[in-house]
């Protein structure tokens, strides 16, 4: 199964100069665990729930601290034609739960570990 075989989700992002508070609010509102970070339309990083937790633990002022201070810069990315199993192995290897999906240099989505597990469960049920 390929990444492109999954049902696409609505894509939520943040700009690099937005504050941690704005990003956390967007993540909470849309119930997502990560936001790709853009400068204009260019992917420059990803911020996750773990990053926000680390920022708060370090005493960052979420109202003024930009997400660029705590994002993972230049994240690994997937292409739609990547195998889902390879994506899962990459996530395990890197110890991460989210990977941006890029087509022709353009961000088109985010694959989460939940997406991988959900696809695996549905595929197993379909073969019963």
What residue spans define the domains of the chain? Answer: 3-126
What is the pLDDT confidence band of residue 124, given thresholds at 50, 70 and 90?
Answer: low
Distance, CA of 96 to chain centre: 9
pLDDT tens digits for 42-88?
Answer: 999 999 999 999 999 999 999 999 999 999 999 999 999 999 999 99
Q: What angle do CA 100, 23, 119 make, to 5 degrees?
A: 35
Return the CATH number of 3-126, one of 3.10.580.10, 3.20.20.70, 3.40.50.620, 3.40.50.720: 3.10.580.10
Specify the pLDDT at position 119: 82
Specify the pLDDT at position 111: 96
Confidence check: pLDDT of 30 > 80: yes
Strands 106-112 and 34-39: unpaired
What is the pLDDT confidence band of residue 128, given thresholds at 50, 70 and 90?
Answer: low
Mean pLDDT score, 20-33: 97
CA–CA dist 36, 14 (Å, integer) = 6
């Amino acid at each position: 199964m390929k990444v492109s075989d999954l049902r696409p989700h609505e894509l939520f992002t943040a700009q690099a100069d937005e504050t941690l508070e704005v990003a956390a609010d967007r993540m909470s509102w849309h119930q997502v665990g990560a936001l790709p970070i853009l400068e204009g339309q260019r992917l420059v990083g990803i911020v996750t729930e773990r990053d926000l937790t680390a920022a708060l633990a370090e005493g960052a002022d979420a109202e003024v601290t930009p997400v660029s201070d705590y994002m993972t810069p230049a994240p690994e990315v997937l292409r739609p034609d990547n195998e889902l199993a390879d994506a899962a192995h990459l996530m395990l290897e890197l110890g991460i739960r989210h990977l941006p999906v890029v087509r022709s240099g353009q961000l088109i989505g985010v694959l989460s570990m939940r997406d991988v597990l959900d696809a695996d469960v549905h595929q197993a049920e379909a073969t019963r």
